Structure 1
Amino acid sequence: MCRTFSNRSWRGWSAQAIADRLNEGDVLSPLEYKRWIGSNYVSTFKRNAKARWTAVSVLRVLKNPVYIGTLEQGKQTTPNYKVKKRFAVPKDKWVCIPDNHEAIISRDTFENVARILLSDTRTAPSADTVFPLSGLLFCGDCGRSMVRKNNASSSKPYYYYICSGYKNKAGCQSSHSIRAAYLEQAVLVAVQEHIRSILDIEHTLKTIDNLPYTSRQTQKADERLKAKHREIEKYQAYKLRLHEDYADGILSREDYVAFGARYSKKIEEAEQAASKLVQDIEQLAAGYSGGQQWIAYFKQHANISELNRKLAVELIEKILVFENQKIQIEFKFQYEYEQAFEFISSLTSTPEQLLSKGVC
C-alpha cells in the first residue's frame, strides 16, 4: 500500500504538492497508518471517510521534532480527573527529552526546514515547486523581502525580483530590480567560489598542523597571554591605588570616576585579548583542522554545476540585493569561516609569507 519516491523528485516541492503526490501514490496518512496497524487512535483532524494527506498534515510532520530524536510530552492537560475536556499547555511547560530515541533525519535538515517554513515560500499558481531562492532574498537597504514578478507583457517575458517595500510603497525608494536568471547564475558562481575557498582553507589548516613552526607559534601565543595577564594585574593595581588616593582626599571625585573608567576599559580590553589568545593556543595545540564539521558540510557540494532549492537552503542564510544588481551573500557557518581565515592570517603577516612556508 505504500510506495517510495526518489529524494531528488521532492526537492523544492510545496507542502500541497507533496500532499497531492502522496495521495496519488496511495501513501497512508498518519491517521490511516495508525488504523492500519490496529492502533485505537482518534483524531479531531479527520474530515473524510478516509483521512488523506493535506498541506497541514505535511507541515505537521515537518515540524515534529520526534524525527530528530526529541520526545515532547505534556502538551495537553485537564484541570482534574472529573473534567474530560483537555486544554493546551504553554510550550515552555512541555516536557522535552532530547536524544530520547534514534533520529531518522539530521538536526541540520530539521533546522533548515524550520527556517524555510518561517520564510515566504509561496509558489506560482500553476507550479508545484518553490523557486530556488524563495525566502532567502532581502532588500539590501530596507531589509524587506524581495518578491518575484513576471514581465509577461514583453515580447520576451522573463522573471525578475523587486523590493516588496517599494512595491507596496512602504518606504523603500528603489525597486532594486534584478532578473531572476542573472541572480541565480551569480549566486551559483558565488557558491562555487566560496566552496573552493573553503577547500583551500582546509588544505591550509592541515598543512599548518604538520609544520614545525606551529609549536613556536604556540609558545609565542603563550608569551603574549602572560603579557596580557601582567597588563590586567597592572591596571587592577592602578584601580586599587586610585581608590586609596580618593579615600585619602588626594583625588577629586571627578578625577576618580574618569581614571576609574579608563582603567576599567583597559582591563576589559586586555581580558578580551587574553580570551582570544587562549582560544588560539587551544586551536594550535589540538590542530585547528581537526573536527571542522562545517568544512565537511560544504565539501559534499564541491562539484555542483547548477543551483537548486536544496542547495540554496543548505548553504545560504540570506541574500541581500542592492541597487545596480549588486548582491551580498551570507553563507551558513560564516562565523566559523571568518575565524578560520583569521586564524590562518594570524600565523604570518602576509599571504606571501604563507606561500614561502608552503602553507598555501
Structure 2
Amino acid sequence: MVQGKRTTPNYKTKKFVYRNEDEWVRVEGTHEAIISRPQFDLVQKLLLEDTRAGAEDTAVHPYCGRIFCADCGAPAVRKTVRSGDRQYVYYVCSANKSNREACSKHSIREDVLNSAVLATIRKQIELALDMDRALQDIEKLSWERFELRKLDANIELQNETIQKNNNLRLGVYEDLQNGILTRDEFISMKLEFASRIAEAQKVIEQLTHRKSEIQHGLSKQQSWLAQFREYENISEVTRSILVSLVERIKVFENSEIEVVFRHKDQFTDILTFLEAQKTHTHSESKVIPMPRLEVV
C-alpha cells in the first residue's frame, strides 16, 4: 500500500502539492498476496536469466542458466558429439568454445553431471530434513520466531534512528530561524539528516521484506524447509528442482563440480541456532555439516 503521494502546504489551504516518489509512505503486507513472496522473487530472478531453448528443442534444458565455468565464470554451453551410432552430450565453457585461448574446456559429460548433482541434492535434502526435525524437537517453528524477534528489534532500532534524525532536522530549522546557523550550514545538515533517514528506511524495507517471507511460512504452518520435503524422494534432476534449490553449479577441470544452493544464508543461521540450543541445553545431539562439494 502506498500513501502520502500528495499533501497540502498547511491546514488553511485546499491546494494539493504532489510529493516526490522517495517521500511516499509504503507499507507491505496490507493485502493478501495472490502468490507467495518467495515464488514472486524466484520468478523475477528467472526472468533476468538468459534461458533459451536450442533451435531443435521445445523446452529449456534443466541446467540452462545454472551451470558455469568455475575459473572464468562464463556460462557452460551444451554440446552434442556423435561417435558412430552413439551420441554424447557435454557441457563446456562458452568462453573456450568462442576462443580456445580465453579459457580451458572445463568439460563434463551430461550423464556424469546428472549423477553428481543428484547425489549432492539428495545430501542437501537429507541435511534439510534433519534440520527440520531438530527444530521441531526444540519447538515447532522456533527458529522462525527467533528470527522474527531479531528482525523486530532491528526494525525498532531503525525507527528510533529515523525519529532521532527527524528531531535533529527540526532542531536545525529552529537554529536557522534564530540565526545560530547560516543558510549553507542549514542545507548541509538537513541533507545529512535526510540521508540518514533514507538509509534507515531502506534497511527497514529490507527487514520487512525478510519478515514477510518468514511470516508467510508461519501462516501456512511451514518453514522454508518445506520445499526440501517436497523433493524428498527425487530420482532424477529436473528443471523445477534446479531452479527451486540450486543457485549455480561450478564446473572445474577434471570434471569436478561444486553445487551452490539457494538459502545458504538460512542454512548457516539455522546451524548457528541449533548449535546455540545444543550448548544451552547441554544436548549431545550432533549437527551434520552442510555438504557443498561433489567430486566426480
Instruction: State TM-score, norm by structure 2.
Output: 0.54
Q: Is the 8 A contact 1:166 1:175 kept in 2?
A: yes
Give the corresponding residue for 2:223.
293
Pick from 119, 131, 137 the counterpart of residue 67 of structure 2: 137
- The Cα offsets for residues 120-148 of structure 1, whole Å up to 9 and x where unpaired, read as 21112121111011001111111111111
1:166 aligns with 2:107: no
Q: Is the 8 A contact 2:72 2:103 kept in 1?
A: no
- Alignment deviations for residues 139-176 of structure 1 (CA, whole Å, 9 cap, x no partner): 11111111111113554111110011211228643211
Question: Which residue does 1:338 correspond to in 2?
Answer: 268
Structure 2 CA distance for aligned equivalents of residues 135 and 95 of structure 1: 37
**Deviation of residue 315 (structure 1)?**
0.9
Q: 1:206 to 1:166 in 2, by over 3 A?
A: same
Distance in 1 (CA, whole Å) between partners of 2:71 and 2:36 is 35
Written as runs of structure 1 = structure 2, the 5 A alignment for 1:224-263 is: none
> Does 2:122 correspond to 1:188?
no
> TM (normalized to structure 1)?
0.45
Residue 126 (structure 1) aligned to one of 56, 68, 74: 56
1:147 aligns with one of 55, 77, 95:
77
1:307 matches 2:237 = yes
**Does the C-alpha gap of structure 1 residues 117 and 209 become closer, same or farther in structure 2, counting only changes over 3 Å?**
closer
Answer yes or no: is 1:324 the counterpart of 2:249: no
In structure 2, do the counterparts of structure 1 residues 338 and 156 end up closer, same or farther at CA, with 3 Å as the change threshold? same
Residue 290 (structure 2) aligns with: none
Distance (whole Å) between structure 2 residues aligned to residue 145 and residue 104 of structure 1: 34
Q: CA contact under 8 A between 2:69 and 2:252: conserved in structure 1? A: yes
CA contact under 8 A between 1:202 and 1:295: conserved in structure 2?
Answer: yes
Mapped partners of 1:299, 1:325: distance in 2: 30
Q: Distance in 2 between matches of 1:149 and 1:137?
A: 13
Alpha-carbon distance in 2 for matches of 1:133, 1:93: 43
Q: How does 1:176-215 map to 2 (within 5 A)?
A: 176-209=106-139
Please give the alpha-carbon distance, in whole angstroms, between the structure 2 residues aligned to 1:307 and 1:93.
47
Pick 1 or 2: higher relative contact order, CA cutoff 8 A, min separation 6.
2
Letter in 2 for 1:353: E
CA distance in 2, matches of 1:131, 1:184: 12
Structure in which a larger fraction of residues adopt strand: 2
Deviation at 1:100, TM superposition (A): 6.9
Give the whole-Å Cα distance in 2 for the aligned partners of 1:192 and 1:302: 8
Q: Distance in 2 between matches of 1:204 and 1:97?
A: 35
Work out the CA distance in 1 between the residues paired with 2:266 and 2:43: 22
How far is the alpha carbon of 1:335 from its aligned partner? 0.8
Contact 2:77 2:91 in 1 (8 A): yes
Preserved CA contact (<8 Å) 1:141 1:172: no
TM superposition outliers: structure 1 runs of 4+ over 4 Å: 91-102
Q: Aligned pair in 2 of structure 1 residues 305, 164: CA closer, same or farther (>3 Å)?
A: same
Number of aligned residue pairs: 188
Residue 345 (structure 1) shift: 3.4
The Cα RMSD (Å) is 3.5
Distance 1:164 1:93, change over 3 A: farther
C-alpha change, 1:96 and 1:342, in structure 2 (3 Å) is: closer
1:100-134 CA-partner distances (Å, limit 9, x unpaired):
75433333223222222222211121211110110
- Report % sequence identity: 37
Contact in 2 for aligned 1:348/1:354 (Cα 8 Å): no
Give the Cα–Cα distance (whole angstroms) in 2 for the partners of residues 314 and 93 of structure 1.
Answer: 36
Question: Which structure has the greater CA radius of gyration?
Answer: 1
